[in-house]
Amino acid sequence: MRVLVVEDDQDLNRQLVTVLSDAGYAVDTALDGEEGYFLGDTEPYDLVVLDLGLPKMDGLSILEQWRRSERNMPVIILTARDRWSDKVAGIDAGADDYLAKPFHMEELLARARAQMRRASGHAKSELVCGAVRLDTNSARVTCDGQPVKLTSHEYRLLSYLMHHNDRVVSRTELVEHLYDQDFDRDSNTIEVFVGRLRKKLPSDLIETVRGLGYRMNSHQEKEKQGGD
Q: How far apart are the first and last CA of the chain?
A: 36
Beta strands of the chain (E only): which ranges? Answer: 2-6, 26-30, 47-51, 75-79, 97-100, 126-129, 132-135, 140-143, 146-148, 206-209, 213-216
Q: Distances in Å between the alpha carbon of 215 and those of 35, 43, 69, 160?
A: 34, 23, 29, 11
Domain range list for the chain: 2-119, 126-227
Q: What is the average pLDDT across 153-170? A: 91
**What would the pLDDT profile of 135-159 be if each residue is shown by its tens digit?**
998 889 999 999 999 998 899 999 9
Task: Tally the C-alpha atoms within 13 A of residue 225's C-alpha that lie toward its C-beta.
Answer: 6
Q: What is the pTM of this model?
A: 0.81
Q: Binning pLDDT at 50, 70 and 90, where does residue 90 land?
A: confident
Two domains, one topology: 2-119 and 126-227: no
* Phi/psi at 50 (5° precision): -125, 120
Q: In angstroms, rounded to a whole number, what is the distance separating the alpha carbons of residues 119 and 46?
A: 8
Helix ranges (H only) for 54-170 are 59-68, 84-93, 105-119, 152-163
Q: According to the model, what pLDDT value does residue 152 have? A: 87
In the CATH scheme, what is the code of domain 126-227? 1.10.10.10
**Looking at the domain covering 2-119, what would its CATH class be?**
alpha beta
Largest CA distance in the chain: 64
pLDDT, one tens digit per residue, over 2-22 is 999 999 999 999 999 999 999
